[in-house]
Amino acid sequence: MRILGIESSCDETAAAVVVDGREILSSVVASQIEIHHKYGGVVPELASREHLRQIVPVVREAIAQAGMELSNVDAIGVTQGPGLVGALLVGITYGKTVAQALGKPLVPVNHLEGHVHAVFLEAHKAGRAARLPAVCLIVSGGHTVLYEVKPEDSNVQDSNALLRYRKMGQTRDDAAGEAYDKVAKLLGLGYPGGPILDRLAAVSNDAPAPVKFGPTKMKGNALDFSFSGLKTAMLYHVREHSEYAEEIRRREEALTRGKRKFEELLPLCSPKTLALVREFQHAVVRDLVERTMSAAEELGVESVLVSGGVAANSQLRVTFEERSKAAGVEVFFPSRALSTDNAAMIAAAAYSRFRAGIIADSTLNADPSLALA
């Protein structure tokens, strides 16, 4: 079964064709980073307008790369939410129109379930399979949430069967990716913050940590997350130490001249700044890994799934690999391309929902706060 997936929940217009929820025939992503970077974050109005411009060529490209015609598609899967309402509506309206014109079923997909399926797609490519139930951490610019994932029928070990989710913890304030983006903005390192901070944190440097961040203690649910305290601590540290101001100003100036690459910004970072970035990343990664591993231990699961834009982080991957090996748990990540928003994950999630008989009618609407559990 060939499903055309459509994703437009935030700042990526994406389309993909996936066979039986497993084999990716094509996956096209048009990123809007070029449009939003000068504002230091996603501007919803601009995002909707850009989705409108991109949706037709992106779908066309995905169909062409899959070597087929639009009429050969067996079903259409589209992100219903969560996300920006105006952005979601572009994908949904387009999906509905195509489904109606071709007389094909339209399957509504939760964006977060898409991120879970990104892990299954990758595992399948690598000839691996995640044992269920599992613990899944979805960590992106909009979400930081821990789920228990299990098949509806506990005897079935099939990620294409309908899955059930139970929320175990979530961020009480900022998402981890949002913290990366805000800290990068504060330091004059542009948008999005994750990729550049990730690379700067890895630059070898003997400078001592200019400040230490302890683990975030949570009252109540110990599996919840919080990143706004860390972000504020970074802000105060930078404000209170005037030596950062001049290099931040120089980097901001470089950004306005279009110099946004790692190689261009690295020479403008002092050893002290690099050490500060290293400490920030260390604190975020430690919290993400420790809470996820506690959840896995609590449930006694054999698999941990990690997905979403921040799952591309190199230190997060290494730390999870080390911790899971020590705990006798298998950890699964999507490739970097499947970690960030894409439509292959939406098509894969749509397949399991279609098999379970979940099909939308013409009243399908965007749900900006659609919950998974």
Contact footprint for ligand KG4 (CB under 6 A): 10, 140-142, 177, 180-181, 192-195, 198, 308-310, 312-313, 340-341
181 binds Zn ion (CB under 5 A): no
341 binds Zn ion (CB under 5 A): yes
**Which positions ≥6 away from 294 have C-beta within 8 Å?**
222, 223
**Which positions ≥6 away from 273 have C-beta within 8 Å?**
187, 200, 244, 247
Instruction: Considering the complex, state which of residue 151 and residue 171 has its C-beta at the smaller distance from ligand KG4.
Output: 171
Judge contact between 79 and 6, C-beta under 8 A.
yes
CA distance 248 to 272: 12
80 binds Zn ion (CB under 5 A): no
Judge contact between 254 and 264, C-beta under 8 A.
yes
| 141 binds, options Zn ion, ligand KG4, none, Cβ within 5 to 8 A by partner type | ligand KG4
- In whole angstroms, the minimum distance from the beta carbon of 138 to ligand KG4 comes to 8
The answer to whether the Cα torsion of 194, 189, 258, 87 is positive or negative is: positive
Question: Does residue 61 sit in helix, strand or coil?
Answer: helix
7 binds Zn ion (CB under 5 A): no
Instruction: Considering the complex, state which of residue 301 and residue 370 has its C-beta at the smaller distance from ligand KG4.
Output: 370
Instruction: Considering the complex, state which of residue 145 and residue 187 has its C-beta at the smaller distance from Zn ion.
Output: 145
Instruction: Considering the complex, state which of residue 132 and residue 312 has its C-beta at the smaller distance from ligand KG4.
Output: 312
Instruction: Considering the complex, state which of residue 83 and residue 151 has its C-beta at the smaller distance from Zn ion.
Output: 83
**Which positions ≥6 away from 214 have C-beta within 8 Å?**
none
Indicate the helix (H) or strand (E) that contains 150. Answer: strand 144-151
| 114 binds, options ligand KG4, Zn ion, none, Cβ within 5 to 8 A by partner type | none
Instruction: Considering the complex, state which of residue 279 and residue 341 has its C-beta at the smaller distance from Zn ion.
Output: 341
32 binds Zn ion (CB under 5 A): no
8 binds Zn ion (CB under 5 A): no
Query: 243: which strand partners?
Result: none
Which of these segments, 132-140, 260-268, 294-302, 349-357, binds Zn ion (CB under 5 A)? 132-140
Preceding peptide of 192 cis, ω within 30°: yes
* Binding mask of the shown chain, residues 285 to 324, with x at each position contacting Zn ion by CB under 5 A: ----------------------------------------
CB atoms within 10 A of CB 69: 9
Summary count for the chain: helices (H), strands (E): 13, 10
Instruction: Considering the complex, state which of residue 12 and residue 330 has its C-beta at the smaller distance from ligand KG4.
Output: 12
Q: How many residues does the chain have?
A: 373
Judge contact between 351 and 21, C-beta under 8 A.
yes
User: Which residue of 32, 48, 80, 140 would you call a contact of Zn ion, by CB under 5 A?
Assistant: 140
2-7 β-sheet, strand order: 23-31, 12-19, 2-7, 75-81, 106-110
12 binds Zn ion (CB under 5 A): no
- In whole angstroms, the minimum distance from the beta carbon of 184 to ligand KG4 comes to 7
Which of these segments, 74-82, 133-141, 215-223, 280-288, binds Zn ion (CB under 5 A)? 133-141
Question: Which residues here bind Zn ion, judged by CB under 5 A?
Answer: 140, 341
